[in-house]
Each structure stands twice: as structure tokens, then as C-alpha cells.
Structure 1
């Protein structure tokens, strides 16, 4: 039978700060606020402690919600608009530059919009991508509204099926991040340019960013649990 009280089961943290923190807070405030006309009382210290505790709980909750929300699969419209799958007007407007600005995870999908009477999308190997070889694609799509789901981490190569279009720059590399290294917003996106060389793994800078971001997230979670 419900007793009328509200159980706070949504967040597994204690409702009051540890006693050790409460004992230390007055001395911390005395050092931090030497110009106070009177020394902070224990009640004031406890009040500030509770306020700080509540703030940290909110921050940790928002962080966890952001991390969990980022794991949802997303659809990416290739190039960001319906007319992007075409020969780029110049070298500074390539689809690979668009890909560099995004972070792709396993489970995400790529969406193409194009005129099926004039073009198509070929998923190819790395060698076929570099040589613009349209003869033996891994998969061919020509429905005008292509959706390709990214099932595995690593590089994915796409070229146009129209004659001569790949040679003029209508092609795309999408590097999918590993699931264990996919904190969106904390990791640097692997560059498609790296996948044209021997290696397709994220750069050392990207790995350092992931480690730093993961460590920061874990630190905030631990801090919230201690508070």
C-alpha cells in the first residue's frame, strides 16, 4: 500500500552529503571567504553543501542522459541536402569534407537523394574507390532514394555509377567509429582522407580525445556518487 511518500528511485545517489564532507566544508569556506564579517556557521555550510550536492546531481544526470541519448541510431542525408550526390562544383565542396564534420556510429544510416534516371550509388572496395572502378561493386543502388545502414566500424567507400562522375569527384568515404570509442561530441571524427592511405583507424589525436572524454565522463559520475 502506498504511504503517500515519494520514493526517489530515479537516481542512485545518497540524498545528503557524506559526514566527512560536511565536517570539512566550514574550514574550506573559511579559507575561500576570508573577508566574511563572521565565519560561516555549520548550518550555512550544510546548506551550501546541500545546494552543491543538488547541483552536481543535476549535472551528472544531464551528462548520463546525453551519453545514453547519443547511442540512438541516426539517419544522415548525404551532403546535407537532396542535391548533394553530384559532381562537386569545386574541390572545396567535396562530400568527404561533409563526412569529416560528422561522427558515424554502428547502426546509423546514410540516405541519398538523386535522379535515378541519371545516377546511382555504388558501394565499392578501397581499391575500386581509388581507381573509380565501377565494374564489380559490393552493392549497387539505383532507386533514387537509397538508404545504407552502417553495420560495422571502419571505412565505407561509395562512388557514383554515372560514367566519368567518380573521376570528377562524385564519391564518398564514411568512417564508422567503433562502438567502444563512440562518445558523440567527445571524440574527434576520423578523417576520410586517412582511409585513402594504408590505415583506416582513427588518428592518435582522436584516440586521445576519446580517452580524455571518457575519463571526464567517468570522473563526473564518480563525483556525483560521492556527493
Structure 2
């Protein structure tokens, strides 16, 4: 029995760090605005299935989820999903590219648009962004409505929960031998 307890705790210690969902605040403290550099911002992040995007923006903006063709042409008339209200949380439910733009006239063509690539969650995903190939249209994210910001695990500037993960691993390594000796 003690070996089973030690084995289970060890497995949890190894698996736990990769299971945290991250809330990415689009544009960080700058938010979703005309002056953001969303290509550079997205390139510095790894977006995993289960993570969320939080768009914070003023009343003159919105967020549209678009197909690749509509994104390339800054055309929001056929948006997959449209959001308004100042704060929009979108859950990333499937791997692949996703395309977002502000639907306000002229904002997309001035750079208020963003492409991300969502990957299947992995404990050692590299933080890279690739340019999606043409012709890939995505299904819309699961019904997501504008909402207030949700609470999430603390993250560092790169969106990593590394500090929290290290605490889980450390505690597991301390508690595992204690459980073994108690059994």
C-alpha cells in the first residue's frame, strides 16, 4: 500500500504543472486598442487548449472572431462571433489558428487584429508563433458571451504559471515520503 500511495503522488507531481489553464490578457496592461502590437504580443505567448483570452477595450471597439479570408481582408461582415461590452473572455477549445479583429471602421486595417495558434496542452510547449497557412477556417469557439474577467492562476509576464507549478511539485515531493511512512 505505501508504494501505491507514493506512486500516485509522484504521478500527480509530474502531471500537475501541465494542467493549469492560463488567462491571457490581450495586449497585457495596454489592452485591446488601436495602438497595440498584437503580432509581437501573440508571438511571446503559447496558447493551449483550455486557456482563455481576455480582451479589455473601450466602447469604440469590439472583438470579432473571423475566418482566415475575412481576417486577411479585414472584413467583419461575416464574423464567426462578435463581442462588445468592454471585457470579453474567449475560451480556447480546439487546436489550430484563430483570427480576431476590431470591427470598428478602419481599426483592423490600422493593425487592430491578431492571429494566434492554439496548441494541445503540453508541459514543455515552446513559445513560438507560426504564420498559419491559407485556407484554414475554424469553427467558432464554444458559445462564449461577453463576461467580466474570471479569476485564474497567477501568471508571470510570459503567461506562465511556473511559480505555482514549482510549489505543487515541491509540496508533492515533501508529502509523498510522509504518506509512505504513515501507511
TM-score between the two structures when normalised by the length of structure 2:
0.65
Describe the SS at the equivalent of 1:118.
coil
What are the residue-to-residue correspondences of 1:158-169 with 2, within 5 Å? 158-169=100-111
Q: CA deviation at 1:65?
A: 2.4
How many residue pairs get matched?
136
Aligned partner of 1:129 in structure 2 is: 71
Report what 1:143 is aligned to. Answer: 85
| C-alpha distance in 2 between matches for 1:146 and 1:8 | 47
Q: Which has the higher helix share?
A: 1
Q: How far did 1:190 drift? A: 4.3
Matching of residue 65 in structure 1 with residue 13 in structure 2: yes
Q: Is the 8 A contact 1:124 1:158 kept in 2?
A: yes
**Unpaired runs of at least 5, structure 2:** 137-183
User: Alignment partner of 1:99: what SS?
Assistant: helix
The offset of 1:64, in angstroms, is: 5.9
Superposed displacement of residue 165, structure 1: 0.7
Structure with larger RCO (C-alpha < 8 A, sep 6+) = 2
DSSP 3-state at the match of 2:56: coil
> What is the TM-score of this pair, normalised by structure 1?
0.53
- Greater share of strand: 2
Which whole-Å CA distance do the structure 1 matches of 2:3 and 2:135 have between them? 49
- Which of the pair has more CA radius of gyration? 1
Structure 1 portions without partners, runs of 5+: 1-5, 14-59, 201-227
- Could you tell me which residue of structure 2 aligns to residue 221 of structure 1? none
* Residue correspondence of structure 1 range 103-114 to structure 2 within 5 A: 103-114=46-57
2:147 is aligned with 1:188: no
Which residue of the partner structure matches residue 119 of structure 1? 61
Aligned to 2:24: 76
How far apart in 2 are the matches of 1:163 and 1:155?
Answer: 24
Give the Cα–Cα distance (whole angstroms) in 2 for the partners of residues 69 and 188 of structure 1: 15
Measured on the aligned residues, the alpha-carbon RMSD in Å equals: 2.6
